[in-house]
Each structure stands twice: as structure tokens, then as C-alpha cells.
Amino acid sequence: MSLARHLIFLGAPGAGKGTQAQRLAQYLGLPHVSTGDMLRASVQSGSDIGRRAAAVMDSGALVSDDIIVGIVAERLTLEDAVAGVIFDGFPRTVYQAHALDQLLQDSGGVISAVLHIALDDEEIVVRLSGRRVCSGCGAIYHERYHPSLVTAVCDQCGGSLVQREDDQPDVIRKRLAVYQAETAPLIAYYHDRPAYHQIDGHGEADEVFARIVEAVREKD
């Protein structure tokens, strides 16, 4: 039986890794696995690790690395993960990356591609701070890339468009600082591996996806 070939997406908030991970999952026919989805599924399953995660979340605390790794181990035993998965949001820390390496060594499987979507901070601020959400129906717009026909008015329901607190420039820059401190060291961890590939995140989504597909083909 061939080894499972797993892919990892890295990138700052707003770099587009979630969108691109979903597209690549469809393209390759592999499951798209996000940390949030894994947590919810594990809790709903009622498994031992799921019950531990639920107790932590119910207390308002952050789920520990060990629980996250346990949930990943559980997810990789499912039938749809036999050929591999596309990780989105995992690993988040070097500790989790070490644990994933050990897990794959023990269970069989390899990391076939680490796709780092690189985008400068100011472009991320522009992308995120330009988002507007309809207070009525929840439709999403962007002042530059997808503006409404009438400024600050939803095309679909006529509701007012608002900027979420998380999309304010100061808040975005704080999120980026947290990313640099906690998650960016993963780039150094994976950088010298043959599987690592830096993807230019500038341009239209289709352009970025084409670069990702080219990188994945190079790793085959």
C-alpha cells in the first residue's frame, strides 16, 4: 500500500490559504482538513479526545497542542484520509510540526508539499480592511475588489454595509504580529525540506492557484 501524501498550507491571516486549500482539495480529490472542522467533528463523535477537547472549550480555555495533535491523529485514521489530506491551519506551532512528523513516522505517511503563500503585510491590511459585511443578510463585499453598486448599501437586500472589528487596520496588524511570533517559525522549520515551496500570493486568486498547481506538480 502506498504512503499517504499530506499537504500543508502556511501563510498569514488574509493571505488566502483557506480559499486556496479548498480549491486544491477539489483539484486533487483529497479532503480539506481545517483545525476548526476537526475539533467540531471530534467533539460530535464523542470520542475520548473529543470529550477532552469539549471540556477545555466549555471552560473557555485554549485547546492544548497535545489535544490538537490527538485530534489530528484521530482524523488521519478515517477512510477518506488513506491517500492523504490537505491541512489548513495545522500545524500552527513548531511543537505541532514536530508532533506531526512523529505521528507520520509511526503511522505511515509523508508530507509531500508545504505551500507557503507569501504576501507582504500591507497588502494583507488592504485586503482585510477593505471587507464590508451586510448587517442585514451577511453578504460580503470589498471596497476595492468587489464593491457594492451603491456605497455602503447591500446590492441584495439594501442593508447597510459595515466593517467588522476584526477587519480594522490596527486589529489586523496585531493579528499579524501574533502570527509572526507564533506561527512564522514554521517557515524556518520547513524551509530547507524538498517539499517546501514559497508561493507568490500577489495577484488574482486564479493566478495564485496556478502557481500552487505548478508547485505541486514539481513535487510529484
Binding residues for AMP: 35, 40, 61-63, 89-92, 96, 164, 175
What does the alpha-carbon distance between residue 142 and residue 127 come to, in Å, rounded to a whole number?
8
3-state secondary structure 102-147: HHHHHHCCEEEEEEEEECCHHHHHHHHHCEEEECCCCCEEECCCEC
Q: Considering 5, 17, 132, 211, which one is annotated as catalytic? A: 17
Whether 217 is catalytic: no
Please enumerate, by residue number, every residue annotated as part of a binding site for ATP.
14-19, 131, 140-141, 203
Whether 219 is catalytic: no
- DSSP type of residue 89: S
Please enumerate, by residue number, every residue annotated as part of a binding site for Zn(2+).
134, 137, 154, 157
What does the alpha-carbon distance between residue 108 and residue 36 come to, in Å, rounded to a whole number?
24
Whether 175 is catalytic: yes
Please enumerate, by residue number, every residue annotated as part of a binding site.
14-19, 35, 40, 61-63, 89-92, 96, 131, 134, 137, 140-141, 154, 157, 164, 175, 203
Q: Considering 23, 75, 127, 131, which one is annotated as catalytic? A: 131
Q: What number of other Cβ atoms are within 10 A of residue 176's Cβ?
A: 19
At residue 14, φ and ψ (nearest 5 deg) are: 90, -5
Whether 193 is catalytic: no
Q: Considering 51, 144, 164, 193, which one is annotated as catalytic? A: 164
Active site residues: 17, 92, 131, 164, 175
